[in-house]
Homo-oligomer: A and B are copies of this chain.
Amino acid sequence: MLARDLAVTVPTVDLDTDGVAAVRLLAESHLPGLVVLDENGRPHSVLPGSQVLRFLLPDYLLRDPALTHVYSEQAADRLCSELSRYRVRDVLPKKPHELPVVNGDDTTVEIAAAMARLHSPVVAVVEEGRMVGAVTTAGLLDRLLEVA
């Protein structure tokens, strides 16, 4: 099996997608993370689900965990359901990082190694500079265990 055989179509976001849309997309798609495209439609990064949660939290709560304890149950639910006005570009890590991207003709070993090394639950599959789909950890495991 090659990456192009394993790639499935996934919804994507771009750098200016707002937090409300990104959170809803993650919840509805049941994906473990979102592929972020740049202005040319090429993969820019992958935002794992845990980092999509940053849209739910004011910045000071991420910097100072002790402050998360001051909210009552009701205030916490309200805060989390308000969603911030951040855009995708605001919650991406600042330093450049290696992209979780594989080529269409990459093998299962190359896909698994990329996910493991980059700690990414999703990799984008690219052919001739265009994203043709994505592979998730769950999707990869399902197909490998079929073969086994």
A147-B77 contact given A27-B141, A141-B27, CB 8 Å threshold:
yes
Q: Decide yes or no whether A54 CB sits under 8 A from chain B.
A: yes
Residues of chain B within 8 A of A40, CB atoms compared: none
On whether the beta carbons of A148 and B81 are closer than 8 Å, the reply is yes
Q: Decide yes or no whether A39 CB sits under 8 A from chain B.
A: no
Interface residue tally on A, bucketed by range: 35 or more
Pick the contact of A68: B69, B82, B109 (CB < 8 A): B109
Q: How far is the CB of A107 from chain B (nearest CB, A)?
A: 3
- The prevalent SS among residues of A at the interface is helix
- With the chains together, A68 CA to B114 CA distance in Å? 9
On whether the beta carbons of A2 and B32 are closer than 8 Å, the reply is no
On whether the beta carbons of A80 and B57 are closer than 8 Å, the reply is no
Q: Decide yes or no whether A112 CB sits under 8 A from chain B.
A: yes
Q: Which of A10-18, A117-125, A126-134 contacts B (4 or more CB under 8 A)?
A: A117-125
On whether the beta carbons of B27 and A142 are closer than 8 Å, the reply is yes
Q: Decide yes or no whether A24 CB sits under 8 A from chain B.
A: yes
- With the chains together, A120 CA to B48 CA distance in Å? 9
What residues of chain A have their CB less than 8 Å away from a CB belonging to chain B?
A: 1-2, 23-24, 26-27, 30, 32, 48-54, 56-57, 61-62, 65, 68-69, 71-73, 75-77, 79-83, 107-110, 112-121, 137-138, 140-142, 144-145, 147-148
